[in-house]
Structure 1
Amino acid sequence: MGEMLALLSMILFSANIILTKVAIARLNLNLGFLISVGVNVLFAFFLFFIQVFFFEAGDLAWHTKGFFLFLLAGLFGTYLGRWFFFETIQKLGPTRASAFQVTNPIFTTIIAWLFLNEQLTARDLFSIILILFGLFMVSYTPQKALKKEIAQQNKLLSIQPYPDLSLKGVIQSGVLVALLSSFSYAIGNVVRGAAIINWDQPILGGALGALLGFTLHAATSKNKRHFWRQVKEADKTGVWLYVISGIITISAQISVIASMRYIPISVANLITLSTPIIVTPVSYFLFKNQEGITFRTILGIGLVLGGLVAVVL
């Protein structure tokens, strides 16, 4: 059951990645992001009301610890993780920003082990290592492309092409911000797992986290005063694409939260991050290999698939 929910989450996240690639071409990412997170909240509470009135509502008794854990997950996952990730894109570029997210499962596994005493079987560990290695191969950037992206970022940021290995240099380079993004997502994952164990309400939990995340994003957004005007003036197709994105992402989050009730947090997280096995081949045909798929990419996808099979079967 847990593996199926995590796989559903992975499929939904994959669909969102492809959808976002199309949406970005039509609408500013910052505006689209606020639309998407706002829809996260509305759709999650809509699902919760459907659950309460038409299905088995489950345990609706008040759980203070579970309530604050779900809010905390929204702080680290929906707000800090995404904010640091967008900052990383600005500093390092999209390719290297995505590559740093491979550290997310490592952080999640360590944190879950330290604070929740989560125990993994030898089979789980083997699957995690296999999938991690596969994700690393998929996210690997050829030197030629990497140098081109670095040169573009250096030109934009007016910095020297040689890395400054001091603490200040590491901070300014975006490496620390990239790691903070991955670390924040990992904390959010573990907190969600702890929350669902305490209070078995994945839909309500997803709604609470999304609500806090949206509130913080709206409060810190520079364009919040002109939000509605920008939406009215924006490309309508782009707006609807981000609305659909919001529905897909919150559905994926709820699915992975529910999966953590049945399988280890680190395993659930790793399954949901295995999006390249869907995104890469679909992107190849839809976007004419803009991602530059190589034999190494295909081999990485094969390793990820092997790891997923080992987990599920």
Structure 2
Amino acid sequence: MVLNDGMLVYLFALVPAVIWGFTPVLDKRGMSYDGTALQASLVVVVVDLTLVTSLLVLRGGSLLAGIDVSLAGLFLFAGATGTALGRLAIFIGVDRVGASINSAVVSARPLFATAFAFGLLGEPISLETGVGIVVLVTGLVVLSLAKGGDLSGWESRDLIYPLGSGALFAFGNVLRRFGLEMGGADVLQAVALNEAGALLVFLGYAAVRGTKGFRSADRRSYGYFAVSGALTAIALVSLFSALALPAGQVAIVESLASTAPLFTTVFVYFLLQDLERVTRGVIAGAVLVVIGTALVTLGPAGAL
């Protein structure tokens, strides 16, 4: 059976959904061993950058071979904003509200992609998109009232971190899709440059503010973050592969990748019962967010 571009987009976009449904469990466990958001961000980016660069070299390529300076700068900028800042916000969210709640809220990022398209490109908002926004917001309200997530408790204002992360990732994916459509860079080069941009941000932060926030007294935390980084490398290559295909519109890829909270909820229920509470409200909120996300993207996806 030969897979066409559309089927490959679905396949490649679902891989990060499953992986990013599981990595918040690893991240939360690492946080429980005295891990920090900065430490997690740095370990993940170092591990996935090392793996992707090594694969690139083994394949006989190099980071900048045949790439225009402006294109390289675009991927570096996408990594500095959509990855470095977005991933840092994710880890803060995992630490404060828990993996299940955080994953569900981050999955609202197609809403931000739609907003960017409306505000910057003047694209109209369809009826499906409007209904989806209402359902999505309802899901977020249900999540905030669900009394689930981190067992130590959290405040509704803590949702600003996963929401901010969703906006940053949506912005980054728009840039990545644009860069991949320009041509001149293959998927591995694009991923490596993206992660290099994120690493530069963390190194710059460490140079100015010191390295204290990047360290943990408990070595066990590093192992969890390292495994998360290895899985993230696979997820990123798959995500970029989806965006690089002619049929890989951001709206479609985002909607599929944003089903991650459904997987996170299952993983948390079985693997993090000592750290998090999965209530009926959490499940209902996650489902509403995913349904709302799908509706938000129906209009743009169907028009492409």
Aligned residue in 2 for 1:212: 197
The within-5 A match list for 1:1-313 is 1-29=8-36, 30-52=38-60, 60-84=65-89, 101-112=106-117, 133=135, 137=139, 140-141=142-143, 143=145, 145=147, 180-199=164-183, 200-221=185-206, 222-224=209-211, 230=215, 234-235=218-219, 237-261=220-244, 262-288=247-273, 290-294=276-280, 297-298=283-284, 300-301=286-287, 304=290, 307=294
Question: What code does the residue aligned with 2:16 have?
Answer: S
**Residues 102-123 of structure 1, C-alpha deviation per residue, up to 9 Å, x if partnerless?**
5421111232466578899x8x
Residues 299 and 34 of structure 1, relative CA distance in 2, 3 Å threshold: closer
Answer yes or no: is the 8 Å Cα contact 2:28–2:94 preserved in 1: no
- Consecutive unaligned residues in structure 2, runs of 5 or more: 1-7
CA contact 2:75–2:197 (8 Å) conserved in 1: no
Q: Distance in 2 between matches of 1:303 and 1:175?
A: 14
Matches of 1:218 and 1:203 in 2, distance apart? 22
Which stretch shifts more, 30-39 or 191-200? 30-39
CA displacement at 1:216 relative to structure 2: 1.0
- Describe the shift of the 1:142–1:187 C-alpha distance in structure 2 as closer, same or farther (beyond 3 A): closer
Amino acid in the other structure paired with 2:250 = I
Output one character per residue of 1:56-89: Cα deviation in whole Å (capped at 9) or x when no partner: x9x9522333212111110211122234556678
Root-mean-square deviation over aligned CA pairs: 4.3
The 8 Å contact of residues 77 and 194 in structure 2, kept in 1 or not, is answered as yes
Q: Deviation of residue 192 (structure 1)?
A: 0.9
Q: What TM-score comes out, normalization by structure 1 length?
A: 0.70
CA distance in 1, matches of 2:152, 2:213: 34
Q: Which moved more, 1:97-106 or 1:75-84?
A: 97-106
Distance 1:248 1:132 in 2: 33
Question: Retained in 2: the 8 A contact 1:128–1:270?
Answer: no
Number of aligned residue pairs: give it: 280
Partner of 2:3: none
More displaced, 268-277 or 291-300?
Answer: 291-300
Alpha-carbon distance in structure 2 between the residues aligned to 1:144 and 1:9: 26
Gap regions ≥5 residues in structure 1 = 155-172
* 1:35 alignment partner AA: V
* Residue 282 of structure 1: how far off its partner (Å): 2.2
Deviations 1:153-188 (A, max 9, x none): 69xxxxxxxxxxxxxxxxxx6787775544322211
Contact 1:128/1:267, CA 8 A, preserved across alignment:
no
Larger gyration radius, structure 1 or structure 2? 1
Residue 188 of structure 1 aligns to which amino acid in structure 2? Answer: G
Q: In structure 2, what is the equivalent of residue 162 of structure 1?
A: none
Distance in 2, matches of 1:152 and 1:14, equals 21
Question: 1:46 offset after TM fit, Å?
Answer: 1.2
Q: 1:119 to 1:43 in 2, by over 3 A?
A: farther
Q: Distance in 2 between matches of 1:49 and 1:192?
A: 22
Q: Deviations over 1:19-52 (max 9, x none)?
A: 2122222241232332122112211211212333
